[in-house]
């Protein structure tokens, strides 16, 4: 099972970017992507940004993560 999480690029230096996972910042490699700029959203897997995503899609995905982490995913009956 693979887990990839959306993050917003804060800054870039060479092939390394600082990204924000909704309040948690980490350094990740952006060597696999082209034309990434601060403010862009990327999908991160095992320390690598593997895909650029649009802002709306990223925000929807981040909201789902917030719900999951908060335990608000009880099945509806």
Surface-to-core class of residue 30, CB atoms within 10 Å of its CB (0-12 exposed, 13-18 middle, 19+ buried):
buried
Provide the whole-model pTM. 0.80
Instruction: Report pLDDT digits (tens) over 4-15.
Output: 889 999 999 999
What are the C-alpha distances in Å from 18 to residues 23, 64, 74?
Answer: 12, 22, 34
Q: For the structural domain made of 5-70, what CATH number should be given?
A: 2.30.30.140
Instruction: Report pLDDT digits (tens) over 27-59.
Output: 999 999 999 999 999 999 999 999 999 989 988
For the chain, which residues make up each domain, given as ranges?
5-70
């Amino acid at each position: 099972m693979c887990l990839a999480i959306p993050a917003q690029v804060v800054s870039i230096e060479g092939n390394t970017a600082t990204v924000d996972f909704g309040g948690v910042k980490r350094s990740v490699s952006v060597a696999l992507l082209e034309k990434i700029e601060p403010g862009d959203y990327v999908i991160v897997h095992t320390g690598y940004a593997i895909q650029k995503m649009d802002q709306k899609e990223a925000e929807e995905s981040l909201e789902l993560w917030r719900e999951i982490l908060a335990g608000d995913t009880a099945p509806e009956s």
